[in-house]
Structure 1
C-alpha cells in the first residue's frame, strides 16, 4: 500500500473510512450517496486523494456529518512537503530576504 500523500490526506481518509464503517456502509454505497466514483473514494480513504471542498461537502452530507469535521485541527504542517503556504509575516520576511520589499 502506498504512503499517504500527506498527514492531511491521511487524516481525511481515516475519518471518511471510520465514519463509513460506523454507518455500516459499503464503499460503493457511500460513493453512490456522495455522487462520486468508487475509485475516487478509495483514493481518498487511502490518503492518496486530494478531495475538493465540494467533495468534502458531498461526503459529509452522505455520512450525516459536518464538513468542518474533516479539516478540524489541520494546519499547514499537515500539507505535503512541497506545499509551503506563507502567513503574512512569513511572506514579508521572504520578500525582505529576496530584496523585494517594495514588490508587495
Structure 2
C-alpha cells in the first residue's frame, strides 16, 4: 500500500469520497462520469496521490459540485516542507514600512 501523499491529499480524498457516496456513486460510476480511470480516483480518495486542478474540476463536475466545495478549508500548511508562513499581505506591509 502506498504512503499518504500529504495531509492535503488525504483531506481532499476524504471530501471526494464523502461527496461520491452521498450521491450513491461507485468508483466506477465516478470514473466514467469524470472520464478518469476509477483506479486513479481510488488512489485520490485514499490520499495516495495529489490530483491536478484539471482532475479536481473533472471530479467536481461529475459530482455536480462547484470545485470550491472539495477544496474548502484546505491551506498550504497541509503540505509538507513549507518553510515560511508569509503571504502577499506580509510582503505589502513590509514594503510599506520601508517606505
| TM-score where L is the length of structure 2 | 0.78
What RMSD over aligned residues (CA atoms) do the two structures have, in Å? 2.1
Give the deviation of 1:84 after TM superposition. 4.3
Give the deviation of 1:75 after TM superposition. 1.3
Distance in 1 separating the partners of 2:26 and 2:2:
22
Aligned residue-pair number: 90
1:57-95 Cα distance to aligned partner (Å, 9 max, x none): 00000011110112211111111x2354763558xxxxx
Distance in 2 separating the partners of 1:6 and 1:78:
7
Runs of 5+ consecutive residues of structure 2 not aligned to the other structure = 92-99
Distance in 2 separating the partners of 1:46 and 1:8:
11
Asked if 1:78 is matched to 2:42, the reply is no
Q: How has the CA–CA distance of structure 1 residues 85 and 59 changed in structure 2, closer, same or farther, with 3 Å as cutoff?
A: farther
Distance in 2 separating the partners of 1:58 and 1:67:
9
Residue number in structure 1 paired with 2:12:
12
SS at match of 1:8: helix
Residue number in structure 2 paired with 1:24:
24
Asked if 1:60 is matched to 2:67, the reply is no
Q: Verify the 8 A CA contact 1:44 1:50 in the aligned structure 2.
A: yes
The 4+ residue runs of structure 1 with deviation greater than 4 A are 83-86
